[in-house]
Amino acid sequence: MQIVQSIIAKAQKFKRYGIAVLFVALIFQIPFPQPKATISNSQLPTVKATTETAPQIQSFTQASVATQAQTQNQDQTQENTSPLIADFFGQKTPESLATAIVKSKENFITTRPTYSASLQVIKKNEDIIRQKAQQYSVPADVAIGVGLLENGGSETAQSKAGALGVFQLMPSTARNLGLTVNATVDQRRNPEMNIDAGMRYLRSNYQRFGDWGLATWAYHAGEGNVAKAVQLYFKEQTHVSLAGLSNIDQMKNYLDYYHTTVYDILSSVAVRNFTNRLHDDSAAYPYKVLATADLFKN
């Protein structure tokens, strides 16, 4: 170390301290600190962009309060809207349009002369309806909606066409579902048996079409008319002639492959021409069921 100090002292006299340090480092192999590596912009980590902005102080003007109230009403409407909207209308139909169509049917339902009486019938039998719907894997909104829409104001109401009971079963339909209907005994008058048969009929329609929108429509229009509408739709859209009810698997496969909904079918020109001849606003029935289910919730 005395040698090193001597060299440094001499170098300082000549103001060459840097050369002296270099000379000592070379002799005694003293490592120098390495300079920091230069990093290019391309090597920098990407910072994720954010759209968040600083919260603004809300101005409680009349306009802002009105806007907030409108937003709350829209949120409430979405909460009250049936989750079956997507099943009936599909992903291609804007939710706002689907909701508007359903809401437009509420006035027709609430102005029916038997609406209040029918509402009481469904409330009285609600537990049984929900129990049977769960038993047969029928959506609760479909069960409640069909029951309230079909009911004629009492548990034994009978239509001009001959449909009877809570779920307005026709004699032939009831017999096919195992109920006794003759001149002396009519099991459709038994509310629980009527409801049970109604749920089984809805379930059989779903197994036939694989779609709750079409199954709901078939409860009113009949499976034969719905199958005919499906045939007309695919003839118009794909130029394929389906066999209808004589080949249920083929029909279900086409409906599933093309993600076809009851809204798609009822929007077809060919199908509208067909349903217009039914003379009972049949094409609006699925939407009325959804509207009725929403009304019941409220």
- For 174-221, write each residue's pLDDT tens digit: 999 999 999 999 999 999 999 999 999 999 999 999 999 999 999 999
Q: For all residues of the chain together, what is the average pLDDT?
A: 81
Percent of the chain with pLDDT over 70: 72
Higher pLDDT: 205 or 3? It is: 205
Q: How confident is the model at residue 40 (pLDDT cuts 50, 70, 90)?
A: very low
Q: Is the pLDDT confidence value at 31 over 80?
A: no
* 138, 203 Cβ separation under 8 angstroms: yes
Contact between residue 148 and residue 163 where contact means Cβ atoms under 8 Å apart: no
Among the ranges given (31-35, 41-45, 78-82, 223-227), the one the predictor scored with the smallest mean pLDDT: 41-45
CATH 1.10.530.10-classified regions of the chain: 109-297
For the chain, how big is the Rg over CA atoms in Å? 37
Please give the residue that has the higher pLDDT: either 3 or 21: 3
How confident is residue 296, by pLDDT bands cut at 50, 70 and 90? very high
Count Cβ atoms below 10 Å from residue 214 Cβ, excluding itself: 29
pLDDT at 249 (0 to 100): 96
Residue 8 has pLDDT above 70, yes or no: no
Q: How confident is the model at residue 281 (pLDDT cuts 50, 70, 90)?
A: confident
For 109-297, CATH gives: 1.10.530.10
pLDDT given for residue 280 in this prediction:
80
Q: Summarize the confidence of residues 67-73 as an average pLDDT.
A: 42
Write down the residue that tokens 């002292």 correspond to: 9
Among 42-56, 63-77, 89-103, 152-166, name the one with the lowest average pLDDT: 42-56
Confidence of residue 82 (pLDDT cuts 50, 70, 90): low
Residue 63's region, left for phi above 0, alpha for psi from -120 to 50, else beta, is alpha
Tokens found for residue 198 = 């109604």
- Give ∠ CA 102-103-105 in degrees, rounded to 5: 75
* Comparison of pLDDT for 17 and 45, the residue scoring more: 17
